[in-house]
Amino acid sequence: MSLTNLRFSQSSPDSRAYYGDGVRPQYDFGIAYPDPRSVPALELSEALRIGADSEGQDLALYPGIQGYKPLRQFLSDKLARDRNISVTADQILLTSGAGQGIHITMEMLLDPGDVVLVDDFTYSGGLAQIKRFRGDPQPVKTDNEGMLPDALEATIQRLLREGRTIKLIYLVPSFQNPQGWSISLERRKAILAAAQRHNLVILEDDSYCDLRYEGAAIPALRTLDEEGHVIYISTFSKTIAPGMRCGYLTASGALFERAMACKSGGPVPLFVSLAIHRYSDQLASHIEQINDIQMSKRNAMLAGLSEHFSDSATWIRPEGGLSIWVKMKQEVDLQAIRDKVFATDNVSYMPGNRFSPDLSTGKNFMRLSYGFNTPEEIYEGMGKLAAAFRREGVL
């Protein structure tokens, strides 16, 4: 068929780019997987069996778009306990991962050309969703505590002078992806004040909040916000498994109403929700266990970095999450050698420019994720990566 007379209406990203394509290197530092060996697959299948035994017939029904209410009730309790966020089960929408929460937010708020303010380097899936809805992600300079308030205000003023419409600020405040820092309390207050001053929505992507293995938790922007500016999203992908495709979104008033109307594909499957709900009483201890594992993996990667990269790179030591952000000398191009290192040395990493709104800035940075391999493999893989980099003349 000739498609010449069919103009596709959406400029969508290639979704496959976010996901692995089945070919994984031996040392997979490219994607922020949780630890595969501690995925509670059998506990989840037992949880599902228990749930199906009592409520299996309900699989025949079309439930409300918000998803299984007992799981939303669990989340209401969890958000109150862990993040001091007060929302009822009725103010929570289950989503297909945090990614769908981002999709929903962009779909409901963006008109073509609208600006979304983002960190100078931020989650590539967030950037892709902004561009999918023809939004314009504009970077704001950050340091190790998050967006610089002066830079934020200056960027807003410049864009307003240019006649641009700014709709929202996208943030990953806990263990920012890819940079690893968390936004300090003071900065959170400053960013929130800017959002209130300019009547902007904040999309707070708290996907990594449970993965803290050092330091004290910092209040969520949603907790600090009393004016309903914050759409808060998170996910079970990093604490249970991405293969569940279960995240959640909460917001106030009209924002929440519209989010429900934009949810695609019906509710999160009851089949998934039943399993997570019946498993939920084991979740806190599971998170403790995986955080111990991830900390040892982080330490293995930090040891590898110290041993091989100290002379040529700097990095941020994260207190949680799944990745370390590494900066090399300005002239280094890690994008250019990525495929060769993958193919030749069986090691992957994510070049920094993938996290930049222009997809070009930051080729001398890389994100190294340590969720997939064991600590021993990570340490070994860092040696392989260093050898590859020396061969390529960048180390």
Rule CB under 8 A: is residue 10 a binding residue for its own copies? yes
Q: Could you tell me which stretch among 178-186, 239-247, 307-315, 356-364 binds its own copies (CB under 8 A)?
A: 239-247
Rule CB under 8 A: is residue 258 a binding residue for its own copies? yes
Taking the least distance from each CB to its own copies, the nearer of 94 and 218 is 94
Residue selected from 26, 53, 292, 307 as contacting its own copies according to rule CB under 8 A: 53
Token pair 């061969």 is found at 391
**Beta pairing, strands 247-250 & 92-95:** antiparallel
Shortest separation between residue 68's beta carbon and its own copies, angstroms: 9
* 93 phi-psi bin (left φ>0, alpha ψ -120 to 50, beta other): beta
**Within positions 336 to 355, which residues make up the interface with its own copies, using CB under 8 A?**
none
Report the alpha-carbon distance of residue 31 to residue 148 in Å, rounded.
Answer: 28
Token pair 């952000």 is found at 325
Closest CA to 259 of 25, 76, 100: 100
Helix, coil or strand: residue 322? coil
Report the alpha-carbon distance of residue 72 to residue 268 in Å, rounded.
Answer: 11
> Which sign does the torsion angle of CA 77, 80, 83, 85 carry?
positive
**Within positions 146 to 205, which residues make up the interface with its own copies, using CB under 8 A?**
167, 196, 199, 201
Rule CB under 8 A: is residue 23 a binding residue for its own copies? no
Which 8-state DSSP code applies to residue 216?
Answer: -
List C-alpha distances in Å: 43 to 200, 227, 236, 275: 42, 40, 15, 9
Rule CB under 8 A: is residue 15 a binding residue for its own copies? yes
Taking the least distance from each CB to its own copies, the nearer of 46 and 333 is 46
Shortest separation between residue 40's beta carbon and its own copies, angstroms: 8
Taking the least distance from each CB to its own copies, the nearer of 229 and 338 is 229
Phi, psi torsion values for 53, nearest 5 degrees: -65, -35
Torsion of CA 148, 153, 156, 162, to 10 degrees: -120
Report the alpha-carbon distance of residue 228 to residue 192 in Å, rounded.
Answer: 11
Q: Could you tell me which stretch among 7-15, 183-191, 208-216, 334-342 binds its own copies (CB under 8 A)?
A: 7-15
Rule CB under 8 A: is residue 283 a binding residue for its own copies? no
Shortest separation between residue 259's beta carbon and its own copies, angstroms: 10
Rule CB under 8 A: is residue 111 a binding residue for its own copies? yes
Taking the least distance from each CB to its own copies, the nearer of 275 and 388 is 275
Tokens representing 352? 């920094």
Q: Could you tell me which stretch among 17-25, 299-307, 347-355, 356-364 binds its own copies (CB under 8 A)?
A: 17-25
Residue selected from 186, 266, 306, 340 as contacting its own copies according to rule CB under 8 A: 266
Residue selected from 6, 162, 285, 311 as contacting its own copies according to rule CB under 8 A: 6
Shortest separation between residue 247's beta carbon and its own copies, angstroms: 9
What is the per-residue binding string for its own copies in 30-49, x denoting contact by CB under 8 A? -x-xxxxx-x-xx-xxx-xx
Q: How many CA atoms lie within 13 Å of 358's alpha carbon, on the beta-carbon side?
A: 8
**Within positions 91 to 110, which residues make up the interface with its own copies, using CB under 8 A?**
95-97, 99-100, 103, 107-110
**Within positions 66 to 85, which residues make up the interface with its own copies, using CB under 8 A?**
69
Shortest separation between residue 216's beta carbon and its own copies, angstroms: 28
Taking the least distance from each CB to its own copies, the nearer of 3 and 216 is 3
Max intra-chain CA distance, the chain: 62
Beta-bridged to residue 315, according to DSSP, are: 326
